[in-house]
Chain A
């Protein structure tokens, strides 16, 4: 049984996470002389690929407006097919750098899928902008889920998160009858569900997935700004992330919790005390509270690490 099989069994048993397994895999591959492409070569290859893509995008933009919608649809569908095909071919290699290229090609394919869907609904079916956005985001979400199932990398789960956020915005935007704060609530709900699925071992890589869930949870107060009680809910979310970081030994949750405190403590203090105590006192309380956060973070970090 090879290293890859061992690593897969250990990930499935919950002994190590995907990130660690990938790092061990790469290390073993290098040790055995399996990796033939150096990091420098890989970086230059990506730079070249990006330059080629930018040049193609500029060339396409020159005539994009002058071709009929079905022509645009055909061009974007072909690009999608090529990127998926390239990714599929690259995935058959045992070389880690080539496998990373597969993830990159499929990540670009998600963008191409979104473009194809956009051209289809906007140019051919002629749905209105809101409907087009909804369909494009839902189709992109399905594409990113497929990408993530095929290769659960950090790039794949980040793409899935962006598609899920876009779909959330598209769905809520369709309802003219809901207040602004529902966007924050939906993002926080999605973040909480994402967190639970990560904790349950379903969503991975773990670190990236926890980071995505934390962003969603901390977003709760953004649509309403400093209006009460939203900063308090943001504060509660940040504190919960810090507590969970200790429970789950996840430094990434601690990091996002601290960022949340830095955002929501000043917001809460200014909202509660600016009028009664004045700006200088509110600043003083904020400063002391943030110093407390820094000291507390150092203690928390030690606890997370132990």
Chain B
């Protein structure tokens, strides 16, 4: 190689190293969610994981259970926790509603979907609002405009799903990093449940 070629290689490496250093320095950490501890809350939640599986967590013992998985050819487009069990809408290769036992994950019933959604999409309208001010923070407010939590994260960070429980106390969120966390409206600190949650379909609280 000529001297010019060596200079070019050295210059190219220096440029790429400089870019990597700038990116590392510019990075802003994600908001910290401490892990949930047993006995902290008394509620249960079902959600869909990135693995195409339905999971449930009983916040009382903070234990996550994988209940049911669907094939990669299908996708879960709705999860509702009803008195009958956890109703899961499955689309794709099949088009069914599967009702799961919340404790064991056993399939209680499988019925043809015929275009219907399981349950009634209850409590999806929670009067919860997400503000994203220009300073990069994310503010979650209730219907009285009261600030419930404020999260400070990187520019691309966001809250993809926000679901309140029927007791209007607990709230579940899935952020843009697929982290599922829950918080009490009166406490305002989210606690981490899972790092592998899908925002859609939204998690479903046990009624």
Contact = CB atoms under 8 A, between A and B. Distances in A.
Main secondary structure of the interface of A (DSSP, over half): helix
B15 to A, nearest CB: 5
Contacts of B155: 178-180
Contact of B30 (A177, A179, A197, A198): A177
Contacts of A189: 15-16, 18-19
B11 A196 contact: yes
A126 interface: yes
B4 interface: yes
B91 to A, nearest CB: 14
B50 interface: yes
A200 B1 CA distance: 9
A70 interface: no
A201 B7 CA distance: 11
A260 B19 CA distance: 22
Contacts of B153: 177
B5 interface: yes
B9 A200 contact: yes
A176 B154 contact: yes
B9 A178 contact: no
Interface in B3-44: 4-9, 11-13, 15-16, 18-19, 22-23, 26-30
B156 interface: yes
A175 B5 CA distance: 33
B23 A202 contact: no
Nearest to A13: B2
Contact of A193 (B1, B15, B28, B176): B15
Contacts of A182: 22-23, 26
A123 interface: yes
B190 to A, nearest CB: 16
Name the 6 nearest CB pairs between A and B, nearest first. A200-B8, A189-B19, A193-B12, A179-B155, A177-B27, A200-B5
Nearest to B178: A128
Contacts of A126: 51, 72
B177 A176 contact: yes
A199 B4 contact: yes
Interface centre among B6, B18, B23, B28 (most CB of A within 10 A): B23
Nearest to B13: A193
Given A190-B16, A196-B11, A65 B26 contact: no
Interface of B: 1-2, 4-9, 11-13, 15-16, 18-19, 22-23, 26-30, 50-51, 72-73, 153-157, 176-177
A32 to B, nearest CB: 32
Interface residues of A, number: 29
B28 A177 contact: yes
Interface string A123-137: 100101000000000
Nearest to A176: B177
Contacts of A128: 50
Interface centre among B11, B12, B13, B19 (most CB of A within 10 A): B12
A186 interface: yes
A123 B28 contact: no
A179 B154 contact: yes
Nearest to B51: A126
B16 A202 contact: no
Contacts of B26: 178-179, 181-182
Given A179-B155, A200-B5, A201-B8, 18 more contacts: A69-B72, A123-B72, A126-B51, A172-B23, A177-B29, A177-B154, A178-B23, A178-B154, A182-B23, A182-B26, A190-B16, A190-B19, A193-B15, A196-B15, A199-B8, A200-B7, A200-B9, A202-B9
A193 B11 CA distance: 7
Interface in A174-218: 175-182, 185-186, 189-190, 192-194, 196-202
A192 B15 contact: yes
A176 B176 contact: yes
Contacts of A194: 12
Contacts of A65: 73
B9 A186 contact: no
A267 B5 CA distance: 37
Contacts of B22: 182, 185
A198 B4 CA distance: 10
A201 B5 CA distance: 6
Nearest to B27: A177
Nearest to A193: B12
B20 to A, nearest CB: 8
B4 A179 contact: no
Nearest to A173: B156
Contacts of B13: 193
